[in-house]
Each structure stands twice: as C-alpha cells, then as structure tokens.
Structure 1
Amino acid sequence: MAKVITVELTKRFIENEAPATGERQTFRDSKSQGLILRVGASGRKSWAYDYRDPAGNRQTYTLGTTDQLDPNEARKVMDRIRGTDPARNKREVKVEASKAESRTLRKFVEGRYWTDYLLHAKSGKDTKKRIIAAWAPLLDTDMAEIDVQDALQHRLDRLAEELTPQTLNRDRTALLAMLNKAVEWKLIKASPLNDASFKPLDTADDKRVRWLGQRDEQEDIFDGQGKKLGERARFMQALSHEDTPAYLRRLCILALNTGMRRGEMFKLRWENVSIQRAELIVAAATSKGNKTRHVALNATAVAVLQELAAERDTAAREAKAAGEPVKLAPFVFVNADTDRPFVTLKKSWAVMVERAQLNDFTFHDQRHDFASRLVQAGVNLYEVRDLLGHSSITLTERYAHLAPHQKRAAVALLDAA
C-alpha cells in the first residue's frame, strides 16, 4: 500500500515536490483535515475529500484537478460539502449497476426463477425454453430497464418471420409472468412492460389460408414465350433456379410435401428419419403441441432426404479417407456457415419469393398449401388434421371451404334416394 505523507499543500509543493514517479502517491493536507492530493503514476494531480460516511465507512470524493483548483480553492470546495456524504450518489450508482447485472432476464430465468418456481411448475421446463428462445435479444437486459419499444420491435421482427400471433401472444404471457414474479419477489419495483402498447396481438389472422394458385385468376404474368404462368409454376421455377440455395430448395420441397413447420424441420434429427419406411418422426420436444407425430413421406420428400443422406455419407467417407475425425451432425438440415441448425431463412426466402413474383406468401404458407391440396384432392379433414398435427379439428376446419365437391357429392346422394 502506498505511503501517505502529511504536509501543508501549497502551490510550490505541488509544482516542485510532487513530481511523477511512475507510482501513485497520496499527500494529506496538514492545514485542512480531510483534504488530500493524489498524484497518479503519469503525474496527473487531483484533489479529493477523505471522510467517513454516516455508517462509519471511509469514503473519498474527487473535488477536481490541480489545474482547475489551487489549494485554497480546493479547501473552500471541501468546506462547502463537509458534513455531507457527497460520494453517496456514486456508491448508489455502483450498487445499482451491480444489481442490474444480477437482474438480467438470463440470470433470472436460469437462476432463481427456475430453481424457485419453474422447476416445480407444470411445463416449467418448456416455459424456460420458450422465454430463452423467444426473447433472445433481451436476455442480457436488466429486467427493470427493458424498453417497451425494443420488445415491440422484436415482436414485429418475429411476426415477419412467420410466427403466428397466437405463438407471439404465448411468448408475451410467459415474459410478463416472469416479470411479475420479479416484482413479487421485490427484485424490481414494477414491470416495465405493463404498458398499454404491449397488448396481445389480434389472432383473427391466424385463420388465413394462403396457397399457391389462389390468385391465378387475378394475375396475368407470362413467360418469355407469352404463356401465362400461375403461382405454382412460378414458385417451382424459382425453387429450381441456379441461384436458389440447395438447402432452401430442400426445405421447401419437404414443407410442400409434408406440411411440417419450419422449426420442426430445423430441429429434425437423423435418428428420427427412416428413408426405408418412408417416414419421419416429429419429436414432442420440437412440435408446437408438444406431441410426437409420425409423418408419412411421399416419393418427392423421400428423394430430398436421400440427397441429404448421400451427402452426409460422402462427407464421412472423405473425412475417413483423409484420416480426419468423422463428425456427423445429428440434424438433417445444417447451416454450412455455422455447422449448427438453421434459425432463419429470411434473406434467402425473400429473394426467392421476389423471383417468383409472389405477393403475401410466407414460408409457413407452404403448410397451408399442403393442407389445401389434400382437401381439394378429397382427403377428409380428420386425416388432414392428423397429418398437420393439429390439436383440434377446429384448426383444420379453416380448409373445409376448399372441398365443395364433397358437399355436392353428399347432397347428390339424395337424388338417388
């Protein structure tokens, strides 16, 4: 610890007898109790007030540099604040900063909220995963300082990535419940998201049905030979375009032929795929309804999986031949840039949809297209429900209007009665 020297602090002393030594020096004024002169290792000199706070703890409060204050001016400044606790605000800021670091969403949901609440709650593990996945950009934010506009913008971004309003509303509910628990446990004074603008989204649009070919009668788009091209033809041309990434083509073909959700495909593991039986399993942990679903595969879907399996086998053989460790990713679809599952297709999808000249067609709409084609082909709604993994037939009934021929066939039976 550096030695503290007591001496009368004068201009002459400061200029001639307190040079830079490469080490920090402290001089205590013999004339005014509490006044100290600090000389930094670089020679920077500043005044400070040394005192004890109401709790009896020693505190030091900076008054200014020697360029700003001469000794007499420094004493006057110190005398004006003597008897007060000028470092209190600084201490409180430090304490609050420490609290803020321990109050982040991440630390709370992985710490006390998990051990003292979610761990013992029904679906607590799923709720923890939901919060971490849904609110990733806000995880390192102090719960007391979450900005409503940031939360609203993040929700808009996710809505643009084809998540349904119902899903986003569940994410909102999970986050609000956690913040309310933080208030109950007196970690924060009030929930920053108890704001009228952060209201639930309207779920009326969840019933939208958008499929390829739906707008063919309203559009006139032609190829180079003057032949009219419908939405499906344009989409398939864009899908097979040389600039369309292979991963996007394969994901889209699988979506169009299985009705799988984007997240279900992102998390699909090879252990749940059987090319031989033409079947795959959507694990409960990756499905929207937390239920395992067996998905039958047609020849088109099988061909895509065979392509991926062949590439995986080739990579393994090449690694083995080169004497390198054989590392096979457990996931069917892997982002080559990260060697991890995909998390978004926003950019590549936008380019392809623009190339296909499609309006208001999202990645999730391929699921609607799958269901719509089945219903139009005469498949009954209960089978479509099972294929889609809907929890209720009510969700599947949105496609009922696409099968008028079934209704006509039903009433036609009366003609023969």
Structure 2
Amino acid sequence: MGVKVKKDGKVTIDYRDNNGKRHRETFFGCKTLGKEVLARRKAEISERKFFPEKQKEHLTFKEAVNKYWDIHASKIKSAPKLKYTLEQLVQYFGEVNKLSSITTEDIQVFYNDKMAATSPSTANRHFTILRAVFNKVIKLKIYKGSNPCVGIVKQKENPARTSYLSELETKELILNAPPRSQLLFAFAVGTGMRRGEILNMDWRHIDWRTGMVHIYESKSGNKREVPIPISLKQTLCGLASKNTGKVFSLTVPMVEHDFKKTLKKCNITGIRFHDLRHTFASHFIMKGGRITELQRMLGHSSTELTNRYAHLSPTYLRQSIRFIDDLIPALDHQEL
C-alpha cells in the first residue's frame, strides 16, 4: 500500500479507512502529487472527514472514460478505433464536467447531432459506447448515479451498401493509382481482402507453392486462406526476393489519401476503399463463382452476408425458377 507511478504517468494510491476497507485511486501526475493526495486522504480518515460516497458524486466524465479505457476498452481488439471515439465523446461532453451533471436530454441532443452530421449507424455506435462508459463505472461502484442513456431509443440503421466498380472502372482505378499504392489496390480487387488484412500481410504469410495467402488475424477472429490471382502472384514473386517483413509499408492515412486522389482523377464517385472488396465479390459471382467458395474466401461466418451477391449470378434466376417446372404438366403443342 502507498504510491505507485507507471511509465505513462499514471499514479495509483492505495490506503484503508477506519473500517479496514481498502481504497484505490488512479490519476495522472507524479509521485509527489501522489504522496500529497495520499496524505490528504489519511488526514481525512484520521479526522473522520473521509466520505468516499461524496467522491463518487464528483466523478468527472473524463475520469469515467479513463476508467472504462483502463478496465475494458484498452484490452480489446478494436482498441485504437474505440480510443478515437472515446476522445470524441470527451471533446463533446467536456473533461471537467461532472458525470452527475449529464442528463438524458444531453444524451438525446448528442445523439441527434451525431446522426444529423453522420448516419444512424455512426450515431448508434457512439451511443452504445457512451452507455457502456456509464454502465461500467456504475458496475464498479465508483459512481452511484443512474445511467442517463436509459430511455434513449436508437434509430434503425440504413441497409449496408453493396457498391462495386465495373470492369472498366476497376482497370482505370488501378492504372491511375500512385505507384506506391497501385499493387495494393490491385491486391484488394484481386483477393477481396480487407484493408487491414492487406496492410498486416507479411511475406511469410504467402505460400508460393499453393499460391495462397494465409490470414491469421481477421475481423471474425478466424484464420483463412485466400488464393492469389496468377498475375498478382507473378508480380509479387519479382518483389519477394528483395523484401522481408510487411508486404506493404503504407499506413491507413496514406492509402486513404491515394484512394481518394485516384477516384477524383478517374471521376468516380460514391465508392469507398471497402467497395473494392465488394467489387471482387460481385465480379466473382457474375463470372460464375459459387456462393460457398466466396463465403470461404471473404471469411464470412454465415451465408447471410455473402448472399447479398447471389442475385448477380447469371444462373441465379434460372436455378430459382426450375423448382416451378414440376408444377406444370406436359402440354401438347397447339397453335395460339
């Protein structure tokens, strides 16, 4: 028990009250500050002025967010993206505002503003995280108020888009891409891999004998194998002898910058980088590929997501209508 300081500047003080109950407090600062706060708490305990329930009423929004980050958010796979959302929430609700001062009306205004500026799905994600912050500090018993998110009704989200490029647009996009991103764009269209999967791909993940790339960290958490088109495999073979480590040394901002720049150059609108994955899937089905094979390559855990491409199959309608043939008896040919 006492004062502990971590490398990131986080200070933890540890002490017991008159009833022997152990208390811990965490904040940012230095060891000197930690000793001062600890001395103050011991004095309050000695003078019978220590009321931890009062401290729960003065918990600020940023303190609650920090606690949520330390206990839960920092340990999950989507931590970087979640951290950005939490920073946005702190910016909106303020660092020093007390948690108890945030009302249901404030939450509703925030939700409406976010939905007007972005989309129902984005607003719902921010709201879900905000609600989780309140639930966490209440569950940890470091805040004794209620959750103001109760009573807010989330709006129905828009159906997921399935936009894709035509064959001509695809070739134009790849040929007009900056040199550093050209192969990456081609790889996205040729394999249907997600942007993060491509950027995390290591030369060791490629099996040159089978022509497969092994994906060890996917969105679903499952491993999978994706075949590499022969033309891309030949291009990669020419580079493999010179490189080790990551296949692509680009960052997400660099890829986004090059992608938007190329779209503008090609006068293509309404397309996101993720739509290159849809482009792969759509053309795979239109050229006669099977839904089950596509599901395996995309790494979908169920056919529900993959079936959005089924209508693009040239045999889809023909196969669907064949079940009706049994209802119709053989007819003699008659003139109309």
Q: TM-score, normalised by structure 1?
A: 0.51
Distance 1:179 1:266, change over 3 A: farther
Distance in 1, Cα, partners of 2:114 & 2:184: 25
Q: Percent identity?
A: 25
Aligned to 2:77: 129
SS in 1 for 2:219: coil
Paired AA for residue 187 in structure 1: I
Query: 2:288 aligns to what SS in structure 1?
Result: coil
One-letter amino acid of the counterpart of residue 180, structure 1: N
Match of 2:240 among 309, 314, 318: 309
Structure 2: 5+ residue stretches without partners: 1-43, 47-54, 331-336
Counterpart for residue 212 of structure 1:
165
1:385 maps to 295
* Local SS of the residue matching 2:159: helix
Residue 368 of structure 1 corresponds to: 278
Shift of 1:366: 1.1
Cα deviation, residue 256, structure 1: 0.6
Q: Distance in 2 between matches of 1:200 and 1:376?
A: 34
Q: Deviations over 1:199-219 (max 9, x none)?
A: 3560x421x322222xxxxxx
| Residue 138 (structure 1) aligned with residue 92 (structure 2) | no
State the alpha-carbon separation in 2 of the partners of residues 348 and 151 from structure 1: 32
* Distance in 1 (alpha carbons) for counterparts of 2:220 and 2:316: 29
- 1:239 is aligned to 174
Task: Note the residue ranges of structure 1 that are not aligned, 5 or more in a row.
Answer: 1-54, 58-94, 119-124, 214-231, 313-327, 336-340
- 1:12-411 aligned at under 5 Å gives the runs 100=60, 103=63, 105-111=65-71, 113=72, 125=75, 128-136=76-84, 138-139=86-87, 141=90, 142=95, 144=99, 165=121, 173=128, 176-188=131-143, 189-191=145-147, 196=152, 199=154, 202=157, 204-206=158-160, 208-213=161-166, 232-241=167-176, 244-283=177-216, 286-306=217-237, 308-312=239-243, 330-335=245-250, 341-342=251-252, 345-408=255-318
The one-letter code matched in structure 1 to 2:174 is: L
Change (3 A) 1:382 1:373: same
Shift in alpha-carbon separation, 1:192–1:275, aligned structure 2, 3 A? farther
Distance in 2, matches of 1:297 and 1:171, equals: 37
Q: How far 1:271 sits from its partner (Å)?
A: 2.8
Name the CA shift for 1:353/1:394 in 2 (closer, same or farther; >3 Å): same
Greater fraction helix: 2
* Aligned-partner Cα distance in 2 for 1:273–1:201: 41
Letter in 1 for 2:138: V
Greater C-alpha Rg: 1
> Take 1:304 and 1:191, find their aligned partners in 2: how far apart are those partners?
56
Q: Distance in 1 between matches of 2:124 and 2:298?
A: 21
Q: What is the rounded CA distance, in whole Å, between the counterparts of 1:344 and 1:191 in structure 2?
A: 40
Helix, strand or coil at the partner of 1:103? helix
Q: Partner amino acid for 1:295?
A: V
> Contact 2:64 / 2:134 at 8 angstroms: preserved in 1?
no
Secondary structure of the structure 2 residue equivalent to 1:236: helix
Shift of 1:395: 1.3
Shift of 1:195: 7.9
RMSD, aligned CA: 4.4
**Structure 2 residue identity aligned to 1:377:** K
The alpha-carbon distance between structure 1 residues 109 and 349, as it changes in their structure 2 partners (threshold 3 A), is same
Deviation at 1:372, TM superposition (A): 1.1
Residues 137 and 402 (structure 1), Cα distance of their counterparts in 2 relative to 1, 3 Å cut: closer
